[in-house]
Structure 1
Amino acid sequence: MATRLLSRWVNASVARPCTAFKRAISNGVTDYQSKYTQQLHQRADKLGLTVSQLLEKAKADDAERRKAEGEKLKASAAALQKTSQTTDSSLASSSSLRPVEDGPSKLLSKRKDASPIKPLSSILNIPRILSTPHTAEQISALWTAYHGSRSGGTGRGYVCASIPLDMFHKMARTGRQYPTFVLPLPRVRLEDATETSSGENELAHEFFYPAETCSSSNPSCATVLFAPLQEYKLRGAFATPYLVLTMYTDLVSSHGLVLLRGEITPSSSGDKHMLGQEDAQALTLSLQRFYLWDDKKESEDISEGKRLLQAFHETPEKFEWQDLLRFSKTLP
């Protein structure tokens, strides 16, 4: 399954309140709607379209992009599944994997009074893996195939990946320095939502705020929590995370491997999740764009993400929401 890396990094021992965020949010969001509506009309005029046609085109392009993304993920998962099937049969045995409950009630009950981070030992039989000859490639294939089999074989509710160790170290260093950030996700308003004076639908953005997390029982883990901005403003540290990313380093010394697991919080009804699969993947990718720096060889894309992250923390008075929204539109 393709790797998509996401937005704010939390080290278990780090706890820094984001005072910069409170100052920045009051400056930029109030007049965003009017400015964006004007830009929307200008964009439509430039393309020779009506605003309605522009929105339809945007929705069609987005649907096509998501479809292509899904096909790539399916192809990657199928390839990894085939690889895992060619390895020793013990890889797929219950001795190497422990069952993980899919039921939302168990997951939510654990998150009420304990860390939401599931230790790797509850998923993989670590002693079994260390005592038998498993390669890093075999473990990666097993990890991907296992999560792809969740939720009735759809893989819904989870994202997973194997992360190169050097990439993990780079992101960890950035995360310790800048542990909080906000990420925009594109949204198209429904027809029954608030309309403009011309009656056209507007494009809007939903912000996700990586909140602080309590200390994990597994000190080797790094975690990222994502919650809607409005949820965080209302509940603060008690905000419900919609997505929890965990990066396990248990196998670094033995296999040089970091395993990423993302869990999307189930909705109260139990048959859906609080966040869409594509949005979870988009947030995971955003983590890489803002936190994976390479001072020796930085692309223009990485440099802009670095600049925005630094401005958010170091010079909040210079942080521009419009720049963040513009940069987010360049996501592949």
Structure 2
Amino acid sequence: MATSRLVAPLWRRCIPGVQTPFRSYQRRWAQVHDVRFLVTHPRPDKVLEKYKEKLDQKAKEKGLKSIDELKEAYSDEIQDLRNNAIVPGANAALNDWQTPTPKQASSSVPYQIPPPPEPQQSVPKVSDCQDGVKTLGSFIDVEKTADLPNKEIEAIWRLRHVRDSQSLCAVMNSETFDRIVQTARKHPQFILPIPREEQGAEIHFLQWTFPSPTTVTVLFTHLAEFKLRGEFAQPHTTVTHHLDLAKHKDIVLMEGRVMENRGVSVDEGKWLLMCLQKFYGFEPLSAGAKANAERRRKLMEQFSGGDEKFKIEELLEEAEKLP
């Protein structure tokens, strides 16, 4: 529409007999400017005044006398940049414009808009496991539980595991555990029997590990499998003692699990734990119990030292005795 209005007076003048009204009001000095050019192309003299000091300094560094000599020295490069420049709406269609890749942009212009920052990954939560062993915090809120009486802590601990039919759990005082773990450091490996009716006894290998200052773990494995696979043997029962409340509440929380379809029942797992306390606890409550504890200590020393006098029959006898 704007073009037709400008062309109309010229069209009337070229046809005889057609008068052009309002001729005296036309302003022949009016000019049409491209607004895009005025916005995107500031006055050269203002740019020169703004960067005059820097250009003078650049000319001196290059050994030139003036800014004109500097412009002449870089005339070819300036012309190449002008020829290669793409201005959407001026020398290129708006829909033909494509955002340059970071490599193309860095090679063509010295300044460019930085790409949007990549979305930051959420900070990973602290794991509830240490070297594959669950910490006490993965079972209960340690801080809140520490403020409760010991009886309530024991009740909460047992209720926490009551739904898992394959689980083992117990609570012991710190003094008893300290006595057990002291012996465990001297004898980190041992064997315990599980009596089988009309089949004699099945021997199981146990190993103590200390994955962290607040966890002590016992691994039970079939002795035959351990002889066959060594350290690659898979334990059928894992028991972990948590020491987080040992100093503050004078108790140690124990939890474990008997793996399904591994040839050992939950009751047999409990039997192994009872035997472990017999051999590692050494609780001389009477003269007879003290004598039993001494024989068990001797068996453990024979096993750890590789003594040929160690006998499975004596081990089975001591395991079946009352404390």
TM-score (normalised: structure 1): 0.54
195, 219, 229: which one aligns with 1:225: 219
Of 157, 168, 179, the match for 1:143: 157
The one-letter amino acid of 1:204's match is G
1:17-32 matches, within 5 Å, as none
Q: Report Cα offsets for 1:104-124 as digits up to 9, x if no partner.
A: xxxxxx9xxx84421111001
Which of 201, 205, 208 in structure 1 is aligned with 2:204?
A: 208
Q: 1-side partners of 2:195 and 2:285: how far apart?
A: 32
AA matched with 1:277: V
Alpha-carbon displacement from aligned partner over 1:240-287 (angstroms, at most 9, x marks no partner):
1111111110011221110011211233xxxxx652011011000001
> What is the CA RMSD across the aligned residues, in angstroms?
2.3
Moved over 4 A (4+): 294-298
CA distance in 1, matches of 2:248, 2:313: 45
The residue number in structure 1 matching 2:258 is 264
Q: Any conservation in 2 of the 1:231–1:239 contact (CA below 8 Å)?
A: yes
Deviation at 1:203, TM superposition (A): 2.4
Shift of the 184–331 alpha-carbon distance from structure 1 to 2, 3 Å rule, reads farther
**Bigger CA radius of gyration:** 2
CA distance in structure 2 between the partners assigned to 1:212 and 1:260 by the alignment: 14
Cross-structure match for 2:174:
165
Identity %: 29
Offset of residue 128 of structure 1: 2.7
Q: How far did residue 183 of structure 1 move? A: 0.7
Q: 2:148 aligns with which of 129, 134, 142?
A: 134
Q: Give the aligned partner of residue 17 of structure 1.
A: none
Matched ranges for 1:181-330 at <5 A: 181-188=190-197, 202-211=198-207, 213=209, 216=211, 218-267=212-261, 274-294=263-283, 299-314=290-305, 316-330=307-321
Q: Give the 3 Å change call, closer, same or farther, for CA 236–305 of structure 1 in structure 2.
A: same
State the SS of the aligned residue for 2:134: coil
Distance 2:154 2:283 in 1: 25
Q: Point out which structure has higher relative CO (alpha carbons under 8 A, 6+ apart).
A: 1
Gaps of 5+ in 1: 1-109, 189-201, 268-272
Separation (CA, whole Å) in 1 of partners of 2:160 and 2:272: 22
Kindly tell me the number of residue pairs found equivalent between the two proteins: 193
- Give 1:311 shift: 1.6
1:39-54 pair list within 5 angstroms: none
| 1:315 to partner: Cα distance | 5.4
Unaligned runs of 5+ in 2: 1-128
TM-score by length of 2: 0.55
Q: In 2, Cα distance between the equivalents of 1:274 and 1:147? A: 22
Change (3 A) 1:211 1:288: closer
Q: 2:184 aligns with which of 159, 164, 175?
A: 175
Q: For residues 231 and 115 of structure 1, do their structure 2 counterparts lie closer, same or farther at Cα, with a shift above 3 Å needed?
A: farther
Q: Secondary structure at the match of 2:256?
A: strand
Letter in 1 for 2:311: E
Q: Deviations over 1:86-118 (max 9, x none)?
A: xxxxxxxxxxxxxxxxxxxxxxxx9xxx84421
Aligned partners of 1:211 and 1:232 also within 8 Å: no
